[in-house]
Structure 1
């Protein structure tokens, strides 16, 4: 049996899928807008899983559900609802006290956890993520929300006092910005979406939320939690083709913040649609082509272990994935041998299988694109270094190590976002540095070496080229308390628990001249709890 046939045989009949992982079709015929679950009887999009099932006509992707294809009309109605709920900053939500907003968020988390089983199952079936990683994504998202609540309390505690300077007394707090358009990615459709949605929400903004193309259905079980936890019009969902519904929203000029995780091309188009870009705040996490540099002083076993994690976790479909490896020529042969062995030992299979590492790819076009990249590399002097590398069957693509990669190849420039590992040999350390200088991306780099002086000589140039330098470790986002951003085309704004709260708010202050009359006025307002902003309440 050929390896391709072996891959094909991994797709089993539905009767062989364990009961706890089988899924009933989810047909969504409603959406959340202006505090109501509004019925939908228009066009729908069929959702097919990357998991294929045997049929009399061969392997076919399993239909797991449908969701609404709304139009610009419904999007504009959602925008109107968000604008009304914000009410120029006078709405119930933006003027609500922080402790009340926190109570609403805690209610949402409670209701969200009730849907864990279904959301995790939909993560597996919609995007092919392993059960372990799907459960981890859900649980990490809950942890992120709780950490955001704690972070907000911390910020508020620091703001609960008055400051005095040059005869002026003031209280400085953070206040919301307005209406936020929130759009997340397919690879972490729950977690990454919520890393912008949750801080934007808890800071008092109102939301338009558009789920990603792949990973839409898994948000459906959470809509009622949003509806029941937050005031009318605070959270509104938008469905439909992005090209049809989002440009019109931006053209109104009524979107105050664009929170987007995806490609820089799409982000640039959305920003240009806004009539007053100077008034638009953008929080963006975009393209990345993170490099790893393996020097001749590296612990090769450690480097291989971290590079495997970095380049192939969730099939390499992460913005923080290692997408290019530079290895010193003196150690290239041994590194490639160890890398090939490690790739061969990875378990490929269906999402519910224990210890599975390589799963089906959600994007239908991705296997063809990866083959195109591999063929292009071969035409320009590289070859597949590991056994069965690049072999494809339906949505399965076995990881391919490609060497030696050069600047004539697509893999040198393009973000492959899949299980292909380009390896570039180098002699002078100036080569990977120059690569980063010339790259349009600037998110992270990983440096592998046990020579402290060598590492120190690389830290200083790279911290000014990327936003995070990892020493003897893979590129990654977490911990969530650390800043997450990028340079050049890779990001705009900074995300982390505290940074995100700041990104979706602005510092506002109430100030007055320090005299007896004004002291009495302020003391009276604070004593009588007449203002949610001007207050010395301390949230524990």
Structure 2
């Protein structure tokens, strides 16, 4: 086990009070320790960020781009070490962890390039001898709160655009998975990011929540996590002029129409549902199948799921990793128990896997549920794990109705050979991300990302859409006549 420092004001620091970080494949011994910062430390982080912002907002966008580009290079150079820590603290496979590290570097590269682009627009003005334009400016100090399921790519998705546009950040990684985000911070620090522009707060949320959320210098909060926590933050900000960007829950559906390529759809949906053990906000958790092909497709789906190999993420042969922690494992098991109690039928999997050394980890078998009805909790509530619920419908109209019968609206997919049905689905599905013959996850760095309804807020992530969150617009009119 090693002690890992955190970044405050350009210095790597410890506090003497530690939090253990565990590998969910085997909880018996911690893999690392991180500092447990106090409320006073959090206030210091905002002090540093305030000073860092004063420097960074006046830094040339070309220098900002240089720092982000160099940080991307360092992440790729250290990819093996970084991926090993992602796997060690989160449990995902090494292949998934390496992909996450590479994509984090892509975010840095993309926003480095974007920072070189125009930052305003020349506008016509009705007044004579007047030249009018808009210009975008950074908004200030932004709090970044990231989740445990994508502990490196989510911070990169959030930090890259706000740093590229000249903001400073206080970054709170998930307590269970802090090592990944600290790798990102170290790459930025080593690339030459000025002191105080990025500060990483590691600690027990319950002990530092007030200092973290209530500092008057916060101009924006970007959060990925549960609706419960997101709504708590939103209410806390109700009477303050603080922007809130939330990427929240999902209950993503994939529709299989009767003309679909069924074997291809089954393979694609299994990858979408069980990658990272289903612990992705865009993972498919509901499958809606036209009745004429329901029986055949379900057979193909179950057969595909039964090829998955449960094992530790560090084993190259593993295709299904453990859940990220005991709380997550226990919640998924409780969701499964409730589903069966309400009448769902387990078609494959179900329950925990406690054989041998797995007794010491967070293992849930990949599960497909049949006989699911729309009133069941497993159909309506987010189950953040390797659980897939299947339901038959009569036709396209019922399929779309089933997709939209949800408080969420993050991602949906349709599998069909009918181009007309595909376009109708795009128009009628109430989700922010729509895929046709593709999985519900897998949205690249330049593609705007975010959901509708209870899945998110008005500010999207990724692409140039995120600039609406991290910048403000100033309109300038210059009279140049006599």
Q: Is the 8 A contact 2:22 2:176 kept in 1?
A: no
Aligned to 1:535: none
Aligned Cα root-mean-square deviation (Å): 2.1
- Displacement of 1:221 after TM fit? 4.1
Q: Is the 8 A contact 1:129 1:314 kept in 2?
A: yes
Aligned to 1:68: 35
2:450 alignment partner, SS class: coil
- Displacement of 1:474 after TM fit? 1.1
Tell me if 1:201 matches 2:201. Answer: no
Aligned to 2:9: 34
Aligned to 2:469: 503
- For residues 195 and 222 of structure 1, what CA distance do their matches in structure 2 show? 11
Aligned to 1:482: 447
Q: Is the 8 A contact 2:288 2:402 kept in 1?
A: no
- For residues 499 and 194 of structure 1, what CA distance do their matches in structure 2 show? 16
Tell me if 1:297 matches 2:250. Answer: no
- For residues 142 and 223 of structure 1, what CA distance do their matches in structure 2 show? 12
Q: Which range is displaced more, 346-355 or 402-411?
A: 346-355
Aligned to 2:25: 51
- For residues 238 and 426 of structure 2, what CA distance do their matches in structure 1 show? 41
- For residues 183 and 410 of structure 2, what CA distance do their matches in structure 1 show? 33
- For residues 451 and 162 of structure 1, what CA distance do their matches in structure 2 show? 44
Q: Is the 8 A contact 2:73 2:105 kept in 1?
A: no
Q: Is the 8 A contact 2:169 2:198 kept in 1?
A: yes
- Displacement of 1:85 after TM fit? 2.6
- Displacement of 1:343 after TM fit? 0.8
Aligned to 2:138: 176
Q: Which has the larger radius of gyration?
A: 1
- For residues 452 and 237 of structure 1, what CA distance do their matches in structure 2 show? 48
Select which of 350, 356, 372 maps to 1:405: 372
Gaps of 5+ in 2: none
Closer, same or farther in 2 for the Cα pair 1:271/1:374, shift >3 Å?
Answer: closer
Q: Is the 8 A contact 1:253 1:275 kept in 2?
A: no
Q: Is the 8 A contact 1:144 1:497 kept in 2?
A: no
1:392 alignment partner, SS class: coil
Pairing 1:452-463 to 2, within 5 Å after superposition: 452-462=419-429
Q: Is the 8 A contact 1:141 1:190 kept in 2?
A: yes
Aligned to 2:174: 212
Q: Is the 8 A contact 1:186 1:212 kept in 2?
A: yes
Tell me if 1:360 matches 2:325. Answer: no
- Displacement of 1:275 after TM fit? 6.2
Aligned to 2:392: 425
Closer, same or farther in 2 for the Cα pair 1:330/1:147, shift >3 Å?
Answer: same
Q: TM-score under structure 2 normalisation?
A: 0.92
1:46 alignment partner, SS class: strand
2:132 alignment partner, SS class: strand
Q: Is the 8 A contact 2:71 2:105 kept in 1?
A: no
Closer, same or farther in 2 for the Cα pair 1:431/1:46, shift >3 Å?
Answer: same
- For residues 383 and 115 of structure 1, what CA distance do their matches in structure 2 show? 46
- For residues 122 and 253 of structure 2, what CA distance do their matches in structure 1 show? 47
Pairing 1:276-287 to 2, within 5 Å after superposition: 276-277=239-240, 279-287=241-249
Select which of 41, 53, 62 maps to 1:99: 62
- Displacement of 1:334 after TM fit? 0.7
Tell me if 1:473 matches 2:430. Answer: no
Aligned residue pairs, count: 472
Tell me if 1:165 matches 2:130. Answer: no
- Displacement of 1:255 after TM fit? 1.0
Closer, same or farther in 2 for the Cα pair 1:391/1:245, shift >3 Å?
Answer: closer
Gaps of 5+ in 1: 1-24, 53-59, 517-540
- For residues 331 and 195 of structure 2, what CA distance do their matches in structure 1 show? 44
- Displacement of 1:329 after TM fit? 2.1
Aligned to 1:109: 72
Pairing 1:72-91 to 2, within 5 Å after superposition: 72-86=39-53, 91=54
Closer, same or farther in 2 for the Cα pair 1:438/1:247, shift >3 Å?
Answer: farther
Per-residue displacement from partner, 1:483-518 (whole Å, max 9, x unpaired)? 1111111112111232223421122243211325xx
1:498 alignment partner, SS class: coil
Q: Is the 8 A contact 1:442 1:467 kept in 2?
A: yes
- Displacement of 1:139 after TM fit? 1.1
Aligned to 1:129: 92
- Displacement of 1:201 after TM fit? 1.1
Q: Is the 8 A contact 1:324 1:421 kept in 2?
A: yes
- For residues 98 and 135 of structure 1, what CA distance do their matches in structure 2 show? 29
Q: Is the 8 A contact 1:311 1:321 kept in 2?
A: yes
Closer, same or farther in 2 for the Cα pair 1:339/1:235, shift >3 Å?
Answer: same
Q: Is the 8 A contact 1:36 1:227 kept in 2?
A: no
Q: TM-score under structure 1 normalisation?
A: 0.83
Q: Is the 8 A contact 1:482 1:496 kept in 2?
A: yes
Select which of 404, 407, 410 maps to 1:440: 407
Per-residue displacement from partner, 1:108-159 (whole Å, max 9, x unpaired)? 3344444333211101111111111111111111122111111222334xx4
Closer, same or farther in 2 for the Cα pair 1:369/1:349, shift >3 Å?
Answer: same
